Structure 1
Amino acid sequence: MPVYVESVTQPSPQDLTDLAKIYADAPEWLLTPYASAEALIEAALADGSLIAGRFNDRLLGAALLRRGDEAWRLSHLCVRKVTRKRGVGRRLLEETQRLASEAGKPLRLAAPAGHLEASALAARTHLPLDSL
């Protein structure tokens, strides 16, 4: 499935609907430190950190990518429940790794401390894990 990764800066009404659906499927811990999925999306759009995976004009997964001076941090990676296990999250991760490498920056995963899912992803991808 050809998933295209893009920065989301000017979302269409359909993009906003898709983003709401993506983060509606997120476990509560993944939204930390934001109060809600809406707050996460609003903050990410405001600071330009929102990236998403698109297939057939629909957003299927999203994450926050903060491009720091020392390192880049990927957080809040989530894929719609109906689309999971089809490579969308892996594509988002691979593209962020490629972009960080091209920029000469290390990529780090960021998640709330103590969550097994985040620790497992960090171990599988050999990326350092930072606490949010």
Structure 2
Amino acid sequence: MPVSVEAVTEPSQQDRTDLVKIFADAPSWLLAPHADAAALIEAGLADRSLIAGRFNDRLLGAALLQRDGPHWCLSHLCVRAITRRRGVGRRILEESQRLAREAGKELHLAAPTDHLEAQALAARAHLPLDII
């Protein structure tokens, strides 16, 4: 599946619909500290940290990529339930790592305390884990 990863800065109406569908599948802990999916999306657009994986003109996964500070931080990574296990999340993660390397920065993964799935992902990707 050739998934392209891009910064989402001026989403079309279809992109907005896709983003809502992506984060509608997210567990509540993934949305924190945002009140809901809409707030997370708007925050990502406002600070220009929203990135997404696109396939055939549709967004299938998204995350926030904070590019300020001593290192970059990837958080809120979510893929639509119907599309999971097809490499979309991995593609977003790999592209984030590549971009960080190009900028001379280390990429960290951010996740809530004691979240085993995020700890496992960070270990598999050889990324430091920041607790949020």
Report the CA distance between 1:69 and its aligned residue. 3.3
Aligned equivalent of 1:95: 95
Inter-partner Cα distance in structure 1 for 2:23 and 2:105: 27
Match of 2:77 in 1: 77
Say what the alpha-carbon RMSD is for the aligned residues.
0.6
Equivalent AA in structure 2 for residue 78 of structure 1: C
State how far apart, in whole Å, the 2-side matches of 1:32 and 1:118 are. 14
Describe the superposition over 1:20-43 as per-residue Cα deviations: whole angstroms up to 9, x where unpaired: 000000111101111101100010
SS at match of 2:122: helix
Q: Distance in 2 between matches of 1:72 and 1:42?
A: 20
Q: Distance in 1 between matches of 2:45 and 2:19?
A: 11
**Cα drift, residue 15 of structure 1:** 0.3
Q: Residue 128 of structure 2 aligns to which amino acid in structure 1?
A: P
Q: What's the CA shift string for 1:97-122, capped at 9, x where partnerless? A: 00000100000000111111111111
TM-score, with structure 2 as normaliser: 0.98
More moved, 113-122 vs 76-85 = 113-122
Query: Which residue of 2 is the match for residue 41 of structure 1?
Result: 41
* Letter paired with 2:65: L
Instruction: Out of 56-65 and 120-129, give the one that drifted further.
Output: 120-129
Identity %: 74
Query: What corresponds to 2:13 in structure 1?
Result: 13
Structure 2 Cα separation of the partners of residues 42 and 113 of structure 1 = 24
So what's the TM-score if we normalise by structure 1?
0.98
Q: Which amino acid aligns with 1:25?
A: D
Give the distance between the partners of 1:47 and 1:17, measured in 2 at CA: 20
The alpha-carbon deviation at position 54 of structure 1 amounts to: 0.3
Q: Distance in 2 between matches of 1:74 and 1:5?
A: 14
> Runs of 4 or more off by more than 4 Å in structure 1?
none
SS at match of 1:17: helix
